[in-house]
Structure 1
């Protein structure tokens, strides 16, 4: 079953797990495929997955990076990665995307079952801090643990980090449970955290360590 899924996803034109390139990474879990965005559509859909009120309660993204219109968010999430559903996307969204050398590592994720956009994962490879989110239709399905396990793999076997950390508010039980299922352990850290939008919130911290960290090619 695993091999047939890999062949199907390769045939679709999506990046292939294990085939990383300079500044670009690809990972797979049982139900998710995560990769460095190839187009502006990948970036926009990844951000749309986190722009609803429920997600922003916890993420606090800067206002200029949030898509406030729910119809726009739904439209972006209804697309499939460029070229993989037969539709011709608008030229501005089809433009290639190249991450900057100092940018955090950002991976968009899609569901392997239908290639729909499922969320995003971000790793600050200097500080070792990780964050992630799922699109509204993907929440409550156990995908959070898969997303954070992919973050662990990205940190330890792609970015060469010995330790990766993640913070959450005490009341964000869904994220904290997903981190625990992904193998994270409680960690010490600042009791208060400032979100990108300026809100200061209570924080609890989690960490995952590896004695065999390495970088991919």
Structure 2
């Protein structure tokens, strides 16, 4: 309890959202893992950094993001990921990036994630709460460290204890061993599903499916 209180005070002091203080009526959620803090974006910087984290060729091989959401300039991606969430590194953000972000009522739940050690942007998690499908990604500097399992465990918790979903599912290409291994370490099990899926950029790829179940689904308050 003492450690958790210290964590809560540290997050409050940094200006970042505090775990356990969601605002579901506004579509805003926050939760934490051992090394990550995940929260609904507050500014355009948060959204831009989330997109920058998955715009490299390695990530796009699997994600196939729509062209108008991919940041092609590597220098711009590095610059965005070098920022810290608004007000947490003492720098004045450009006005455009400082503008507030408000999720729409029908939008998927998007959570940007930062490393709790240094508040650097680490990636993002997306949950389509109407279908129960989830996806996530990590910034290049955060891959290969076991953070994928933490990210997907957070996704399962978001679905089960924030969105009230008894089952959450995630698809991956058979060759995407990193994502499939992370899902398994997060407690996901093999599931049936369409053998092929269409990515946002129009590519049709092979797919294998995983699911995570809960018998005590609930919603945050």
Please, what TM-score do these two structures have when normalized by structure 1?
A: 0.98
Q: CA deviation at 1:10?
A: 1.7
Aligned residues between the structures: 217
Post-superposition CA distance 1:71-115 (Å, at most 9, x none): 000000000000000000000000000000000000000000000
Instruction: Say which of 95, 114, 121 aligns to 1:117.
Output: 121
Instruction: Say which of 47, 52, 58 aligns to 1:54.
Output: 58
Q: Paired residue for 1:44?
A: 48
- Determine if the alignment matches structure 1 residue 207 to structure 2 residue 211: yes
Q: CA deviation at 1:2?
A: 4.5
- Determine if the alignment matches structure 1 residue 160 to structure 2 residue 176: no
Tell me, what secondary structure is at the counterpart of 1:145? Answer: helix
Post-superposition CA distance 1:186-217 (Å, at most 9, x none): 00001111000000001000000111001112
Tell me, what secondary structure is at the counterpart of 2:106? Answer: coil
Q: Give the Cα–Cα distance (whole angstroms) in 2 for the partners of residues 161 and 178 of structure 1.
A: 21
Q: Paired residue for 1:184?
A: 188
Q: Contact between 1:9 and 1:112, CA under 8 Å: does it hold in 2?
A: no
Q: Give the Cα–Cα distance (whole angstroms) in 1 for the partners of residues 110 and 188 of structure 2.
A: 20
Post-superposition CA distance 1:141-183 (Å, at most 9, x none): 0000000000000000000001100000000000000000000
Unpaired stretches in structure 2, ≥5 consecutive residues = none
Q: Paired residue for 1:70?
A: 74
Q: CA deviation at 1:18?
A: 0.4
- Determine if the alignment matches structure 1 residue 83 to structure 2 residue 87: yes
Q: CA deviation at 1:9?
A: 1.9
Post-superposition CA distance 1:19-45 (Å, at most 9, x none): 001210000000000000000000000
Unpaired stretches in structure 1, ≥5 consecutive residues = none
Q: Give the Cα–Cα distance (whole angstroms) in 1 for the partners of residues 6 and 60 of structure 2.
A: 37
